[in-house]
């Protein structure tokens, strides 16, 4: 992941991110953990075709997925902040493969455009938002869900809430870095 101001040409192995206001270039523990879980724990990642970046911020997780995996076909982005979606659009423009996969960048009032489920959902937001939006997050999960923005121990609260909302969604593992945690869930059929 390279800051946009260091871009010297097209390189499919690099992800270019303009961090915008309040967003980073992937160095924060929560972002790092989401990407690490995706790369290390999702064994059939090369078969994943669709992704929702829920609470996208700069869009780094959806952009990273789309740039990295050739089977990526659709990536949608949802955030409560129009500035975040504007920043996400800038980052899509910096990454042609991710831009080709992008379908919707929406605010919650437009969330009805996000029909069906996604093979992979990222939700890198704080605990209160993960709980408040839990129903929407789990209903959009078709196969894998990666949640982060959690402090150590909070993953148990999310696990309990999400497994009550959707009994076929099972906790797989959690990764920790410093005081932050990301957790992977999988739909078991």
Per-residue pLDDT of 46-83, as tens digits, reads 999 999 999 999 999 999 999 988 899 999 999 999 99
22 confidence band (pLDDT: 50, 70, 90): low
Percent of the chain scored above 90 by pLDDT? 81
Q: Which of 160, 155, 142, 143 is nearest to 182 (CA)?
A: 155
Whole-number mean pLDDT of the chain? 92
User: How far apart, in whole angstroms, are the C-alpha atoms of residue 21 and residue 85?
Assistant: 12
Q: Model confidence at 165, in pLDDT bands (50, 70, 90)?
A: very high
The pLDDT of residue 21 is above 70: no
What pLDDT does residue 5 have? Answer: 77
pLDDT of residue 85 exceeding 70, the answer is: yes
Buried b (16+ CB within 10 A) or exposed e, 76-103: bbbbeeeebbebbebbbebbebbbebbe
Tell me the pTM.
0.94
- The DSSP symbol for 23 reads -
Q: Which residue has the tokens 């999988």?
A: 186
Q: Could you tell me the two tokens for 26?
A: 């992937």
Q: What's the pLDDT score for residue 25?
A: 60
**Confidence grade of residue 107 (pLDDT, cut at 50, 70, 90):** very high
Given CA atoms 88, 93, 98, 101 in this order, what sign does their dihedral have?
A: positive
Q: For residue 126, which of 108, 107, 106, 147 has the smallest C-alpha distance?
A: 147
**Residue 160 pLDDT:** 97
């Amino acid at each position: 992941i390279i800051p946009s101001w260091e871009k010297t040409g097209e390189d499919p192995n690099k992800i270019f991110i303009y961090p915008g206001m309040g967003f980073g270039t992937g160095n924060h523990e929560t972002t790092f953990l989401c990407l690490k879980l995706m790369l290390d724990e999702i064994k059939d990642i090369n078969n994943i075709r669709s992704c929702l970046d829920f609470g996208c911020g700069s869009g780094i997780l959806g952009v990273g997925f789309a740039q990295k995996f050739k089977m990526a076909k659709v990536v949608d982005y949802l955030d409560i902040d129009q500035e975040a979606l504007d920043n996400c659009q800038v980052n899509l423009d910096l990454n042609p493969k991710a831009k080709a996969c992008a379908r919707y960048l929406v605010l919650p009032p437009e969330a009805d455009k996000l029909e069906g489920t996604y093979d992979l959902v990222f939700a890198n937001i704080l605990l209160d938002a993960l709980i408040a939006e839990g129903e929407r997050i789990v209903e959009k999960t078709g196969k894998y869900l990666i949640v982060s923005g959690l402090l150590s121990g909070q993953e148990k609260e999310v696990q309990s809430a999400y497994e009550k909302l959707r009994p076929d969604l099972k906790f797989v593992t959690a990764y920790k870095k410093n005081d932050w945690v990301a957790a992977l869930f999988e739909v078991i059929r």
